[in-house]
Structure 1
Amino acid sequence: MNKELGVLQSKIDENYYVLWRSRIGFLVMTRNINKARRIKRKEAEQFPQFEFVPLSELEELK
């Protein structure tokens, strides 16, 4: 189950997703779910300030 892919979603505003991490450590946000970076659930544990949303759940929302 740790290999499950998903995206990080903001807990404050669910319209924002993590796009990428800059070289100096800042996270860049996007509203476009298609541009959001796909990560594994294990990687998502590094970012407790965000909610991990599996891609399977995103497919159900479409």
Structure 2
Amino acid sequence: MMKKLTNVSPFLLLLVPVFVVMLIAFTTNGNIAGNEDNLAKANTSANSSTIAKAANVILK
């Protein structure tokens, strides 16, 4: 196993953790963005129904 690793460039070995960190960052960022979208959709529907109720009360 070590003989195989000695033939690999150290630069390539240093890139492995960089790609792992990038993958973790992108996956967690995607999850957070997805949650924010869902929260934003939930808030806008609640706000629009509240605005509609208030408009009905004012117009009556």
Q: TM-score, normalised by structure 1?
A: 0.17
Q: TM-score, normalised by structure 2?
A: 0.17
Q: Which has the higher contact order (CA 8 A, sep 6+)?
A: 1
Bigger strand fraction:
1
Q: Which entry has the higher C-alpha Rg, 1 or 2?
A: 2
